[in-house]
A and B are shown apart, each in its own frame.
Chain A
């Protein structure tokens, strides 16, 4: 149980375009979802926390207008990177929390902005 999927697993886009990443909890209802960013050989960096039906809470230094998060249902959250630039290239990972006091992570999405 406790499977979280992400789509797409890899995306390459041109600078200036927007990219949407989906995160789904497949076998449980996720009251809270988290979005992380990870650079090579570095630790997870929390970007934002979202509760279903509420606005996301962004960490300090994360631009809410650039990284749009929507958590419209108990099984789906989306992260949209708007007007992506090469410096946005990174590994984006979502996680979901259900009833337990732990998080289950998705497999990650590798974004490359040319």
Chain B
């Protein structure tokens, strides 16, 4: 079983829709959770960074962490064609070490 599971999609939604992207994980020691957005032929860009459980909101983006279910989500409200990209989740155990665990990425297309 992989440490982090992410549905690769592809996911296609109409402009203005609410998008829900998800990752599940198996290691209960993960404490740091990240979402990255990667446009084609570009490096990943950090979108959201959360510690432990709870919600974090930034503009149209909301990150949710449910540690009891080992499940994290990224919600995109009022999706735009410019949101079309691959979204990667990433996680890390506490304050020691450099081991990050990435999902395989979900490809999202927002249709105008």
Contact = CB atoms under 8 A, between A and B. Distances in A.
Given A32-B98, A43-B105, A102 B42 contact: no
A83 B32 CA distance: 39
Contacts of B42: 107-108
A49 B98 contact: yes
Contact of B88 (A43, A101, A106, A110): A43
Counting chain B CB atoms within 10 Å of each CB, which of A6, A32, A51, A107 scores highest? A107
A110 B42 CA distance: 10
A44 to B, nearest CB: 6
B89 to A, nearest CB: 11
Nearest to A106: B43
Contacts of A49: 98
Interface string B10-38: 00000000000000000000011010100
Given A100-B49, A103-B46, A105-B45, 15 more contacts: A2-B46, A34-B100, A43-B102, A43-B104, A44-B44, A95-B43, A95-B44, A101-B32, A101-B51, A101-B95, A102-B90, A103-B90, A105-B36, A106-B43, A108-B43
Which 5 A-B residue pairings sit nearest by Cβ, starting from the closest? A105-B43, A43-B104, A101-B32, A108-B43, A105-B44
